[in-house]
Structure formats: structure tokens, C-alpha cells
């Protein structure tokens, strides 16, 4: 603070000395009020940390409960995000639209259509299966005699197997792509096997909803835990609160350290939660890798991403502060000198 | 709004520090702690308040400190009508007082320095000013060497001197003491009294509730005697 004041008074090209001095005085009175205000807050901030440290066991229990309560939804959300990433891969790889062409369409026209469809933004790739290729495939699968002589002529239409891009693989997008393909004059019909995809999405949505409901309940639990801890602290500091009120402390002054204590519980609880989620994911990563290897897949369990981690921390701080605020508002009024 | 307040039938002049006008205090349950009390204490006066236990001494101090509210009548302190004090104004009002308690009411986990600094921290003084004022207050009560001690490490007399230092550190115009020597032996009690006298000499109004009649008999100050919630006859207004 001192160097700053000196910097102001010793500014090289200061105008008149007197107005400068007046301005400095004004500035100091304003900034010193701000400084006092800030220093009150900083004192309460560190003071409340000191108090938490002085009751390590009780504080640890509260922090651990907050950490576990937040780690549960944190873990589920991370696993869910992993699942969504994996199934998004499936959708991209496994969703295909079978476009059956009109029987009178020549192979050349079909090839031209293939090229056209490949230029569509929502299309990843198009594979053209001519009636001849289709029949050959048919024959290979079923084996046996020459089916063509049996049937007289090739009954199979040309087929374009269209694979949408990964971004277009969501069920409703695929559906609209199918519509668009169906409207083409060359196309007889379009088949999408969407049912499994829709079911998968419905299950995922259900799980996600469930996780958020669980998160809401656990957030409520954190509010109550912090509230209860702060309430006990308030009771144990009854005498001190009364003395402060007798000495003319405002409600805001008395309240401040307890609100900050709640925020500290939140911060530490959030850190514990992030650590627990990371530990759980680490514990699961090996079995997941083994399972993936059995399926010849290269699926790797993703770590807690920093957005989720920051969200956990922020949520924890908000809940800690909020829990303290709710309790302090109710209980502090009841503690008055008598 | 004028800070002068019209009492029943007369005008309170700023030279009066405490004005009670027909003040009664009825506790829930029907106990009438004070009955129709009227008196005034001038600015710069030092007054003792005596009476048997239960006579209403503590209640009277609580009314002045606005810990309790009068059931009827009017209490005016330092030109403020306490009945009109809004809840939010109470902290600021209390900062104009210095309060001393029989049981000292020091915060056990804070040092002597931090205890005395409390009123200044509450009042938002800056750090250098706090250090200066706390040491001045410690000097006045003769405990300059003990600023880093905790209350439990001090004797009763020393703790009460810390209590007094805390009550005067923010230079209040009015000192209220509730049985300040109640837990102290006669020598220490006289020492504490002489501290109050010293503050009174520099213009602080002092009101001390005590049942120690022997201690105050030799001192040249006005004595208000309460008996069953009333002032004993012959004692009333200051003028």
C-alpha cells in the first residue's frame, strides 16, 4: 500500500503540487475505506480457515461427507460421459441406411447418384452394391446352386449403403436424412435399423436423468450437512457472538466468518470429491482396458475432464456457502445478549 | 430529524447523558424489575448504582445498553431515544458505549491485544490506528507487557483491567460497569475504581452498578440506590 501511495505523489509530470495533494488525500480516504473493508473480509476469510484447522476432526468429518456426497454424482457423470463417447462411436460406425434403388435404374445412373450423395454434408460414405454384386453376396451366403438360372432373372435392386457422419448419427438426424433420401426419384425405399439406437438413447437419457436427480438429492444433503455443522459451531460460540454484539458488531460482521467457513468446507469438500472421482476412475481403468481388449476394442476410460472438475469445485463452494448462509440467517438472530 | 427529544413535559438538554422518564420494565411472567423510574445523569458525571441483588441494577444497565427495552416510559442516552432505535442502528449505538462486566467476558482464544482490539476491528479502524490505540489503552491499565498473553494466563484483577481497556479503547462517551469488582478482593477493587476515576477525570461519563457499599462510601460521587425497582426517596434528577 505504501509504495502505491508514494508512486502517486511522486508522479514525474504532476501538475500543481497543491491540487495533487488534495487529490491524493481524497483518493486515500476512498481507497482506505475500501482497504479497511477488504481487510475485514480477508481477516474473516483466513480467520475462519484457522478455526476449521483448530477443530480438525469435526472439520474433517464434514469435509469428507461433502466430498463423498459430491463424488457420487461426479463419478456417475464422468462414466456417463464416457459411455456417451463410446456409443457416439458406435452410432458413427454402425448406423447405416440401406437405400433401395428403382429396378430400372442403370448401374451407371446409380454410380452417378453415389457420387452425388457422397457430396452431401451429412453423408460420410456411400457404398454401391449393384444387383449383380447383391446376387453374388446372396449366393455366397446361402451357398448351393446357381440361383440366377433358378430365378430366371436377377430380382435384386441396386442398393446404396449410406453411412451418415458422426455428427448426423443421432436418431432424429438419421430419420431426416432417410426422409431426404426417400424423396429422391431414383429411390424406391429406404431402410434404417434405428430401433436399437433409439432404445440405447432412451436408456442413456434415463440414466442421465437419474444421475441428475441423485445429484440434486446429494446437493441437498450437502446443504444440510454444512448447515448443521455451522449451527453447531454457532452454538459453541454463543458467548463470543454475544460479546461481539455487545461491542457493537453488526450482523454482517458476526456472520462473515461463518459464511466463509461454509465456503471453506465447500472448497475442501470439492477437492476431496475431485480426488475421489479420480481415484474411482483410476481403479476402474484397468478392468475396463481388459474388457476392451477382450472385445478387440481400444476403448480407454477417460479421466475427469477439467470442466467437470471445475464444476464440482464450484458447486461445492456454492453449496457450502449457501448451507452456511441459510443456517446463519436463522440462528444468529436468536443469539442475543440477555 | 432533530436529535433532541421531547420528554414528557420538558426539553432534554444536550448536557444530559442519560435521562430516564417514568421507566418501567415488566418481564414476561409478571416480574416488575423497574417501576416508574425517573432520573438523569449529566455528561461527565460519575455515578454509582447500588441496591440489594434483584433490586433492578442489572436491568437498568441493560436498558441503557439496549439489551432490554423499557415496557413503558422513555430512556434517552446521548440524545438518542432508545425506543426509536431501529434494529440495524443498535450496533452503531453500542459502539458509543463502553461496557464492563463482572465476569469480564473476554474471548478466551484471543490474546490480550486481540481482545482489546475488538471494538476497533468492529469499528473498521485501520491496522496502524488499532495498534496505537490498543497500546495506549494497555498503558492506561498498566498491562503493556502482557499484550501477547491469553486471558487464562492472567489474574482476575488483570483480566478485569483488560476488560476495562477493551471498554475504553474506542473512546466512548459513556462507560457502563456491572459489578466490575464483584470477583475481586478489596485492594484490587480500589485499584479498578481508581481507573474509573481516571477516565472520569478526562470527561467520560461513568455509571457503575455495585453492591459493595463499603467501597463507594469513601468516594465523592452521587449514589443512586434502587429498592425493589424504585429509587430510594430523595434521589432523582441530577439538577
Query: What DSSP assignment string belongs to chain B?
Result: --S--EETTEEPPTTEEEEEEEEEEE-TTS-EEEEEEEEEEETT-EEEEE-STTSSHHHHHHHHTTSS--SEEEEEETTEEGGG--GGGHHHHHTTEEEE-TT----TTS-HHHHHHHHHHHTT--HHHHHHHHHHHHHHTT-GGGTTS-GGGS-HHHHHHHHHHHHHTT--SEEEEESTTTTS-HHHHHHHHHHHHHHHHTT-EEEEE---HHHHHTS-SEEEEEETTEEPTT-----
Number of CB atoms found within 10 A of residue A50's CB: 10
Q: Of B88, B122, B127, which is closest to A248 when you measure between CB atoms?
A: B122
What pLDDT is stored for residue A119 in this prediction?
A: 87
Best mutation target among A31, A247, A249 (most B Cβ atoms within 10 Å) is A247
- The structural domains of chain A, ordered by start, are 44-89+199-334 (no CATH), 96-193 (3.30.70.3040)
- Arithmetic mean of pLDDT over chain A: 82
CA–CA min distance B45, chain A (Å): 22
Give residue-wise pLDDT tens across range A13-30.
434 444 444 444 444 466
Contact B98, B175 (CB under 8 A): yes
| Selected residue with higher pLDDT from A195 and A27 | A195
Ranking A85-94, A311-320, B105-114, B205-214 by mean pLDDT, the lowest is A85-94
Contacts with B1 (C-beta within 8 Å, 6 or more apart), sequence order: none
In this prediction, residues A216-222 reach a mean pLDDT of: 93
Helix (H) or strand (E) holding A162, with range, is: strand A159-164
* Vertex A33: Cα angle to B67 and A31 (nearest 5): 175
**CA–CA distance from B9 to each of A22, A197, B5, B12 (Å)?**
49, 90, 11, 10
Show the low-confidence residues of chain B (pLDDT under 70).
1-13, 233-239
Contact call for B94 and A35, based on CB within 8 A: no
- pTM summary value: 0.73
A44, closest residue in chain B (CA to CA)? B121
Q: How far is the CA of A37 from the CAs of A31, B123, B199, in angstroms?
A: 10, 11, 31
Closest CA to B176 of B55, B94, B232: B94
Which residues from A are below 8 Å from B65, CB to CB? 246, 337
Q: What is the pLDDT of residue A153?
A: 77
pLDDT of residue A121: 84
Q: What is the mean pLDDT of residues A92-101?
A: 78
Is the per-residue pLDDT at A3 higher than 50?
A: no
Residue A140 confidence class, pLDDT cut points 50, 70, 90: confident
Query: What CATH number belongs to B45-69+87-231?
Result: 3.40.50.300
Interface confidence, given as ipTM, is 0.88
pLDDT tens by residue, A242-272: 999 999 999 999 999 999 999 999 999 999 9
Q: State how far residue B98 is from chain A, nearest Cα, in angstroms.
A: 8
B66/A contact by beta carbon, under 8 A? no
Taking one residue from A and the other from B, the number of pairs with CB-CB distance under 8 angstroms is 55
Structure confidence by residue, pLDDT tens digits, B137-192? 999 999 999 999 999 999 999 999 999 999 999 999 999 999 999 888 888 899 89
How far is B46 from chain A, CA to nearest CA, in Å? 21
What is the model's pLDDT at position A9? 39
In this complex, which of B65, B92, B107 lies closest to A240 when CB atoms are compared? B107
Share of chain A above pLDDT 70, in %: 87
Distance from CA of B119 to the nearest CA of A (A): 6
Structure confidence by residue, pLDDT tens digits, A52-72: 888 788 889 889 999 999 999
The answer to whether the CB atoms of B121 and A43 lie below 8 A apart is yes
Mean pLDDT of A112-130: 86
More confident residue, A3 or A286: A286
Copy the grid coordinates of residue A319: 453449496
Chain A CB within 8 Å of residue B166 CB:
yes
Amino acid at each position: 500500500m505504501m509504495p502505491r501511495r508514494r508512486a502517486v505523489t511522486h508522479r514525474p509530470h504532476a501538475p500543481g503540487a497543491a491540487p495533487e495533494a488534495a487529490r491524493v488525500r481524497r483518493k486515500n480516504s476512498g481507497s482506505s475505506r475500501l482497504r479497511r473493508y477488504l481487510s475485514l473480509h480477508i481477516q474473516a476469510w483466513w480467520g475462519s480457515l484457522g478455526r476449521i484447522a483448530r477443530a480438525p476432526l469435526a472439520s474433517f468429518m464434514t469435509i469428507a461427507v461433502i466430498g463423498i456426497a459430491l463424488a457420487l454424482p461426479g463419478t456417475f457423470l464422468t462414466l456417463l460421459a464416457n459411455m456417451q463417447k463410446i456409443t457416439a462411436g458406435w452410432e458413427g460406425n454402425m448406423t447405416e441406411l440401406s437405400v433401395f434403388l428403382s429396378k430400372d435404374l442403370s448401374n451407371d445412373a446409380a454410380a452417378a447418384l453415389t457420387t452425388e450423395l457422397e457430396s452431401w454434408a451429412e453423408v460420410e460414405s456411400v457404398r454401391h452394391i449393384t444387383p449383380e454384386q447383391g446376387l453374388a453376396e446372396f449366393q455366397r451366403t446361402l451357398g448351393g446352386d446357381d440361383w440366377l438360372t433358378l430365378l430366371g432373372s436377377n430380382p435384386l435392386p441396386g442398393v446404396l449403403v449410406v453411412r451418415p457422419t458422426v455428427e448426423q448419427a443421432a436418431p432424429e438426424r438419421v430419420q431426416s436424412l432417410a426422409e431426404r433420401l426417400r424423396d429422391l426419384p431414383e429411390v424406391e425405399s429406404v431402410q434404417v435399423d434405428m430401433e436399437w439406437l433409439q432404445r440405447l438413447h432412451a436408456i442413456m437419457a434415463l440414466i442421465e436423468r437419474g444421475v441428475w436427480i441423485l445429484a440434486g438429492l446429494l446437493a441437498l444433503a450437502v446443504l444440510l450437512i454444512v448447515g448443521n455443522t455451522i449451527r453447531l459451531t454457532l452454538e459453541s460460540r454463543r458467548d463470543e457472538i454475544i460479546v461481539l454484539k455487545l461491542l457493537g458488531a453488526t450482523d454482517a460482521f458476526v456472520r462473515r466468518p461463518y459464511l466463509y467457513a461454509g465456503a471453506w468446507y465447500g472448497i475442501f469438500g470439492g477437492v476431496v470429491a475431485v480426488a475421489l472421482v479420480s481415484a474411482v476412475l483410476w481403479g476402474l481403468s484397468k478392468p475396463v482396458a481388459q474388457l476392451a481388449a477382450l472385445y478387440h476394442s481400444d476403448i480407454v476410460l477417460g479421466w475427469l475432464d477439467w470442466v467437470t472438475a471445475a464444476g464440482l469445485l464450484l458447486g461445492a463452494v456454492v453449496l457450502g456457502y449457501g448451507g452456511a448462509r441459510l443456517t446463519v440467517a436463522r440462528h444468529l438472530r436468536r443469539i442475543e445478549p440477555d | 430529524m432533530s436529535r433532541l427529544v421531547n420528554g414528557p413535559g420538558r426539553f432534554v438538554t444536550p448536557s444530559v447523558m442519560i435521562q430516564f422518564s417514568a421507566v418501567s420494565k415488566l418481564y414476561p411472567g409478571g416480574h416488575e424489575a423497574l417501576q416508574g423510574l425517573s432520573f438523569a445523569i449529566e455528561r461527565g458525571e460519575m455515578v454509582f448504582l447500588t441496591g440489594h441483588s434483584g433490586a433492578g441494577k442489572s436491568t437498568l444497565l441493560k436498558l441503557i445498553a439496549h439489551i432490554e427495552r423499557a415496557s413503558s416510559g422513555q430512556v434517552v442516552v446521548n440524545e438518542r431515544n432508545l425506543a426509536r432505535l431501529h434494529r440495524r442502528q443498535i450496533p452503531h449505538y453500542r459502539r458509543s458505549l463502553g461496557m464492563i462486566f463482572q465476569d469480564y467476558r473476554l474471548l478466551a482464544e484471543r490474546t490480550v491485544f486481540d481482545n482489546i482490539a475488538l471494538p476497533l476491528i468492529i469499528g473498521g479502524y485501520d491496522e496502524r490506528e488499532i495498534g496505537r490505540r490498543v497500546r495506549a489503552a494497555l498503558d492506561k491499565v498498566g498491562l503493556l507487557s502482557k499484550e501477547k498473553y491469553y486471558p487464562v494466563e492472567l489474574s482476575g484483577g488483570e483480566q478485569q483491567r483488560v476488560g476495562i481497556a477493551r471498554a475504553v479503547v474506542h473512546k466512548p462517551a459513556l462507560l457502563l460497569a456491572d459489578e466490575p469488582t464483584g470477583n475481586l478482593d478489596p485492594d484490587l477493587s480500589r485499584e479498578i475504581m481508581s481507573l474509573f476515576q481516571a477516565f472520569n477525570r478526562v470527561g467520560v461519563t461513568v455509571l457503575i452498578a455495585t453492591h459493595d457499599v463499603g467501597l463507594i462510601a469513601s468516594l465523592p460521587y452521587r449514589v443512586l440506590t434502587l429498592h425493589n425497582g424504585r429509587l430510594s426517596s430523595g434521589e432523582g434528577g441530577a439538577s
